Amino acid sequence: MQEKTSRLGIAGLAAATAAVAFAWSTPASSDEVLSPAAQRGLVIVRTNCARCHAIDKVSESPLKAAPPFRTLHQRYPIESLEEPLAEGIVTGHPTMPEFRFDPGQVGDVIAYLKTLDH
């Protein structure tokens, strides 16, 4: 009986972990399906950027001075962000950390940002 309970506990834990991973990588809008690259980009921006920036199509940025990612295409062509993402984003204010991503991550972030362009 103990072995059966342990297997159910492990299966339950695995199911819960899968549910959290799925929720972490799904878009804010349930009717939108993201490409694998955009899904990876979403995980990257949630991990590195969501503390300050709104990273979806509707939320306000937690830090008022941080522009929502859905408005970036109004300021820059999204592709123009590839080089700063790879070489390190340096801003005019000291509170934003410098981020540098590898080429695969850059492509994933760009793919996700493109999903926010209405």
> Which domains occur in the chain, in start order?
2-116 (1.10.760)
Q: What is the mean pLDDT of the chain?
A: 79
Q: Report the run of H or E that residue 41 belongs to, with start and end.
A: helix 36-48
Task: With CA atoms as reference, report the closest residue to 72 among 90, 51, 57.
Answer: 57
User: Are residues 43 and 104 in contact, defined by beta-carbon separation less than 8 angstroms?
Assistant: no
pTM of the model: 0.71
| Residue whose entry in the numeric block shows the structure tokens 């549910």 | 19
pLDDT of residue 118: 65
pLDDT of residue 50: 96
pLDDT digits (tens, 9 = 90+) for 21-47: 444 444 555 457 999 999 999 999 999
